[in-house]
A and B are shown apart, each in its own frame.
Chain A
């Protein structure tokens, strides 16, 4: 089953063309890595998929699980099974992590005509996922990302992902700012979500994350489009030869 089908996508940010005809398909069960130099449009792709305001779609189409993605509001995309792991998770003092998780889970259940989550079962589920992410329970009663270190924020993103169990996770530079131990924890979290009915779009600048989350496909994003695609070995080649080589070929 095709989870995500992007065709000739073009998008503007601040009046500037950033995505210039990007095409990509992600099937259920696949992990795709998108690599590329700074400014190539990686984060723009992530935000466009999640529906962040300020990004203007100027051409092309995106189908998500058979639906026109751009006809859905950001919250509808999330409830339909899309998850964006932010490169820079937002701090929201005063909104506890547990409220956010509960609000998110209940919104998804409501959309699926399911009753609200039982408070006890919910906490049990969250605690189990926190264990995977090696997070202390005190995180639950803290404000969302409030005063978290860079690594804690990224773990919290993955925790939210594990609780929400999305069909497609778009992870935007989830490895940035992580030391090697935190990277392993984050990778374990992502790997635990891998399943035949889910897909992952892993946006990263460096190859090291792909040692821990092994992708099925690697794409190089350059100048707003996919310049080269290959298997996991492409990441190693990029690590050795840099991005210039792809840019020259493209």
Chain B
């Protein structure tokens, strides 16, 4: 039995792991009963894979991806996690549990120069009492290959599903991955995930992640810029209302010269919601001429809300550029007064400013169809702006 991390661990301080502790760790046994109804429309130009409670239910006729028996694929993944852990000092317990319990892994291998667009739809259906689901994806992106990956986690029904997902990706030199992940599971569900990415020479990894649903979520990310001039763009957005807890730990390691990171987080905590983004950037001794920039901002809109934006920099060489900024605050008084002075209702003005705040991150979501989907969810949450036609073209 692999023990779960605890809040005593600084890197897990803000995470709410109770839902996972309560859920049965065994994988959901009967995937045959899982059918996916009323799914969102497919993203144009993407081939769609649908998983229910972590198991495949729909796959395209032909694909560069295939589902493997996780037991066989597990050793390599576990070995890679061991390497990452040694380097990062992060507790990857959740990924280890995923590796130990999950029985399917989607393996995507893009040969040199290939291009693909995949939509991975992970549908949670079963309640936590029947088990945990273990979505798991491995990506091997060949030299110069391009992958667009849309990863979506959502619920069918209102069950308190427990999800423990793991993705590992290796990008060969000159590869480019645009990875978008949207988590909007049911209110009572909880979603935990681990992401380990290895970025080769001149390769580019771009991740846009939007966290909206569930009672609790935690993303643990470790991205290693392993080759010269490797690049990572990480954009994260989260909205925590009610009693939601969303926690992100993102560690990016500059392990080679001329590597670049651009990191942006925007989070809104309302009601009694809790949000945390812990962005750690490590620049190794030989990673000279590397360049990193972090902009982490959280907005508190509820009297019982909590938010923490923590940039951390560990730099072991002089020849680097590293810029970081982190703020936690309330709505800007000047902006609010300006809108009020135009007659806009206070609640509408506040919603507009929240929208603007989160759009800073959400506007970067690709493809456009997925971004609009995310924006619709956010606009529904900010009900006071629903009638302004925010999503209409002007």
Contact = CB atoms under 8 A, between A and B. Distances in A.
Contacts of A51: 340-341
A141 interface: yes
A146 to B, nearest CB: 10
A204 interface: no
A37 interface: no
A198 B234 CA distance: 52
Given A53-B333, A103-B388, A92 B341 contact: no
Interface footprint category on B: 20 to 34
A108 B343 contact: yes
User: Chain A CB within 10 Å — which of B342, B357, B359, B360 has the most?
Assistant: B342
Contacts of B355: 94-95
A176 interface: no
A83 B348 CA distance: 18
Interface string B343-381: 111101100110111011000000000000000000000
A119 interface: yes
B340 A90 contact: no
B334 A90 contact: yes
Contacts of A164: 342-343
A52 B337 contact: yes
Nearest to A146: B356
Interface string A71-95: 0011101110001101001101111
A96 interface: yes
B344 A141 contact: no
Question: Which residue, A84, A90, A160, has most C-beta atoms of chain B within 10 A?
Answer: A90
Given A92-B335, A99-B352, A84 B360 contact: no
Interface in B273-316: none
A111 B342 CA distance: 13
A23 B333 CA distance: 29
A79 B340 contact: no
Interface string A202-227: 00000000000000000000000000
A103 B348 contact: yes
A75 B339 CA distance: 8
B389 interface: yes
B394 interface: yes
Contacts of A74: 337, 340-341
A95 B389 contact: no
A107 interface: yes
Contacts of A92: 335, 338-339, 353, 356
Closest 7 CB pairs of A and B: A94-B356, A78-B343, A104-B342, A90-B338, A74-B340, A79-B343, A75-B340
22 contacts: A51-B340, A75-B340, A75-B344, A78-B343, A79-B343, A86-B338, A92-B338, A92-B353, A92-B356, A94-B360, A95-B352, A95-B353, A98-B394, A100-B339, A103-B339, A103-B344, A103-B345, A103-B385, A106-B387, A107-B342, A107-B345, A164-B343
Given A73-B340, A95-B339, A103-B339, 9 more contacts: A50-B341, A52-B341, A78-B340, A99-B388, A100-B342, A103-B348, A104-B344, A107-B348, A164-B343
